[in-house]
Amino acid sequence: MDDLLEQVELLESSANLSTSIGDVQKAIDMLMAARAKIAADPKTAPVTLAKLQDAFKKTLETAQKDLKPIYSGLNKYGKALDKKFKDKPLPSAENDALSSHPSLINRAIAMHLLREGQFGVASTFIEEANRRPPHPEPTPNTPNPYIRDSWEKDIAEGTFNSEKLQQQFADMYHILHELRDARNLQPAIQWARQRSDVLEARGSNLEFELCRLQFICLFAQAQDDDMEDENPSGPLHAVAYAQRELAPFQKRYAREIQQLICATVFWQNIEHSPYQRLFYNDSAWEEVAHSFNREFCSLLGLSADSPLFIAATAGAIALPYLLKMQAIMKEKRTEWTTQDELPVEIPLPSQYHFHSIFVCPVSKEQTTDANPPMMMPCGHVIAQESLDKLSKGGRFKCPYCPNESQPKDARKVVL
Ligand SMILES: [Zn+2]
């Protein structure tokens, strides 16, 4: 992989098209100037054209010469790619479970493009997908595919309402841009304030986090003596802001607000105060931007990351394992018969584990809502039913360590 990265770096640094574009622009400028000159005085045409010939030829030659490193860079990159991926078989189409749902795939692609802010590409894609409606093909699990669900129909029948989603994502990108690039919290605070109730019901801290960052910004900015300033800053204004804006958060975030107010005592040397961590946090902006992104998507009923991206990444991780398994099955002439279940464990990174399960180490059964995992005071976890059996209602010993406890001391674990 390092070879490939090296080649990409090389391409980016040396073999980019900017010099060639400059050369071509020069040639165009030259032609335009000549045209203007001839248009102004047609008599000068022969001289102007004669003069132009050599200069124009030279510019084109330079453009050709500047293109050379790009060709050789691309060549080298192609070779590095071939070297890295040689002899890697492509997965066969035997287990293609998706060809029975082409409109779902189109929908996933359209949604991905919309949520990535690629609005132009998304609308072209939707338009073309509508023009050529997909034809579902039978697969082993879906021998008679037909479009059933309305959400599968919408893109196949051209009723997919992308405009509304597009507007919503455009709003999201505008607010994110203001946060990340312009360091302006106001649009995000306004958005959160309008949805204060929903966010609070979800247990979200977004609105408070945004207001806290606003306080910190006001506090840290150099005090401006100019009374005309629309947005005065400095510690005093930060305190005024806290009195004005943080009051509604008093009940839920009393401790955090106390910290902010106490920090103002150290206004002259905040970097040596116990509150230094709050005021010098480089990742604070990225954290609120991320948190805003997550809340925005969940209010739309969507996950914060694109499902298509997650599926493709997980698929890329799983592919080598599946190919290996396919080769082994071929060798042993066996078949993979379990439906909707993978025959091998795929080691996905922890952020790709969406449905955590817990298997009780005593009963070896998966926990359920009716039989939840319970943590004993020693920190060991077993299923409720196992705990009931072990304790019989009285004091009992943990099966994994010498500690004893009462069933009432065990706490339900929510995964
Ligand atoms: Zn224990």
Quick one: 220 and 338 in the same domain?
Answer: no
Same domain, 205 and 317: no
Q: What tens digit of pLDDT does each residue of 74-95 get?
A: 888 888 888 877 766 666 666 6
Are residues 276 and 377 both part of a single domain?
no
What is the 351 CA–ligand 1 centroid distance (Å)? Answer: 28
Ligand 1 centroid to 403 CA: how many Å? 6
Has residue 205 been placed in a domain? yes
Compute the distance from residue 308 Cα to the ligand 1 centre, in Å: 42
Distance 410 CA to ligand 1 centre (A): 11
Which of 134, 150, 177 terminates a domain? The answer is 134
Residue 404 Cα to ligand 1 middle (Å):
8
Query: Residues 26-72: pLDDT tens digits?
Result: 889 999 999 999 999 888 888 888 888 888 899 888 888 888 888 88
User: 3-class DSSP state for residue 312?
Assistant: helix
CA of 405 to the centre of ligand 1 (A): 9
Domain that holds residue 35: 2-83
Residues 182 and 218 in one domain: yes
Cα 316–chain centre separation? 17
Is 316 a domain residue?
yes
Domain-embedded: residue 282 = yes
Distance from the CA of 379 to the center of ligand 1, in angstroms?
A: 6
175 shares its domain with 245: yes
Q: Ligand 1 centre from 353 Cα, in Å?
A: 26
Do 68 and 76 meet the contact criterion of CB atoms below 8 Å apart?
A: no
Interval 182-207: pLDDT, tens: 889 999 999 999 999 999 888 889 99
- Do both 371 and 282 map to the same domain? no
The string of pLDDT tens digits covering residues 246-271 is: 888 888 898 888 888 888 888 878 77
**45 and 119 part of one domain:** no
Residue 140 lies inside a defined structural domain of this protein:
no
Query: Which residues, including other chains, have CB under 8 Å from residue 366's CB and lie 6 or more apart?
Result: 357, 358, 359, 360
Residues 374 and 331 in one domain: no
Mean pLDDT of 123-135: 82
Instruction: Identify whether residues 262 and 334 lie together within a single domain.
Output: no
409 Cα: distance to centroid of ligand 1 (angstroms): 12
Taking the centre of ligand 1 as the mean of its atom positions, its distance from the CA of residue 102, in whole angstroms, is 51
How far is Cα 34 from Cα 51, in angstroms, rounded to an integer?
Answer: 9
Q: Does residue 350 lie in a domain region?
A: no
| Ligand 1 midpoint to CA 384 (Å) | 15
- Cα 402 to averaged position of ligand 1 atoms, centre (Å): 7
Q: Do the domain assignments include residue 203?
A: yes
- Give CA angle at 408 (402, 413), nearest 5°: 80
Assess whether 267 and 311 both reside in one domain: no
| 391 CA from centroid of ligand 1 (Å) | 13
Asked, for residue 93, whether it belongs to a domain, the answer is: no
Specify whether 195 is located in the same domain as 219: yes
Q: Are residues 257 and 203 in the same domain?
A: yes
* Number of domains forming the structure of the chain: 5
Distance 377 CA to ligand 1 centre (A): 8
Q: Would residue 147 count as lying in a domain?
A: no
CA 397 to ligand 1 centroid distance, Å: 8
Determine the distance separating the centroid of ligand 1 and the alpha carbon of 382, expressed in angstroms. 10
What spacing in Å lies between the alpha carbon of 136 and ligand 1's midpoint?
A: 54
Task: Collect all residues with Cβ–Cβ distance below 8 Å to 64 and sequence separation of at least 6.
Answer: none
Residue-wise pLDDT for 347-393, tens only, equals: 888 888 877 788 899 998 888 888 999 999 999 999 999 999 998 88
- How far CA 379 is from CA of 137, 371, 407, in Å, comes to 52, 18, 13
